[in-house]
Every structure is written in structure tokens, then in C-alpha cells.
Structure 1
Amino acid sequence: MELLLYTRPNCPLCDDAKQLLHLLQDDFSFTWQEVNIEENDALHEQFCIMIPVIVHNGDILQQGNVDYIELEEAITARL
């Protein structure tokens, strides 16, 4: 399973989301790719006030203040 993490530089919530993803990788088999929304005008417009955003197959799993338990449940449901 591959996730996308939409972020931007100097975003403390994004840093928290990255840490949670690293922690969850200890228990679940998935990869994730970080996408800087400031490098793409369309993504910046779409996700500007929502970041960080964690997406799997086009579905938003979490956004904003990412919660470990909710993200764990969302990943478990998709494995």
C-alpha cells in the first residue's frame, strides 16, 4: 500500500504527520511519498488550508491535526 502525504515547508503539523507515519511503519507494511504542495499550483489551491493531508487511492485518510489512532484504523481498514 502506498500513501501520499501532502505537505509544505515549515509546517509543524506536517512534521508531526511524518513522525506518525514512521511510527506506523513499524507495525504495518506501507510506503509513503511526500508531496510539497507549493511546487504545484493546482495542489496548492486544493490543499492549501488542509495540510497535512494523507491520501490513499484518492481517498483522504486524515488532514490537519493527524491522529495516531484514527490513522492506524484507516490504514488497517485498507490492508
Structure 2
Amino acid sequence: MLRIMRDHARKHPGLIPQFFFICLGMGGAALYLVRLAKGPHVTWNKSSNPEPWNQLSPTYQYKFLAVNTDYKNLKKEGPDF
């Protein structure tokens, strides 16, 4: 695959920035998927902890960026499991 891209870029050097940004976007998407797969609400081993999201504190910030939410003042509304 890389050989084909390299040969094509030699014939058409104007495509080099396009190849760069496509690879940059694919790498960023892969890193974001790895970040999502390691979250505390994701379980990979059902036998040791089948519901890890029940052990999170009520002040845990689930969103990547919370603009208007103050998580320190939230009250826990559900029962303890």
C-alpha cells in the first residue's frame, strides 16, 4: 500500500499534502478509538467486574469537555449497588 502511494506521489507531487492529511486523520481517529476503549465505563472482562460504571463517583466527568456543568455540586440520585 505504501509502495503504491509512494509511486503515485512521485508521478503527482501535488498529492503529497493530501496523503499526509489523510494519514494524520486516520491516526487521530485510531488514537481516539483507543482512548474510548480504555474508559472506566467500558468492560473487557465480564467475570471480574461486569458493571464498572456503577462504581464511579457522582462527580465523575463523563464528557470530554463539559462547558457549563459543575460536577462538584452534583448529588447522587440513584441507590448504591
TM-score bucket of the superposed structures, by smaller chain: under 0.3
What is the TM-score with the length of structure 2 in the denominator?
Answer: 0.20
Structure in which a larger fraction of residues adopt helix: 2
Structure in which a larger fraction of residues adopt strand: 1
> Relative CO higher for 1 or 2, CA cutoff 8 Å, sep ≥ 6?
1
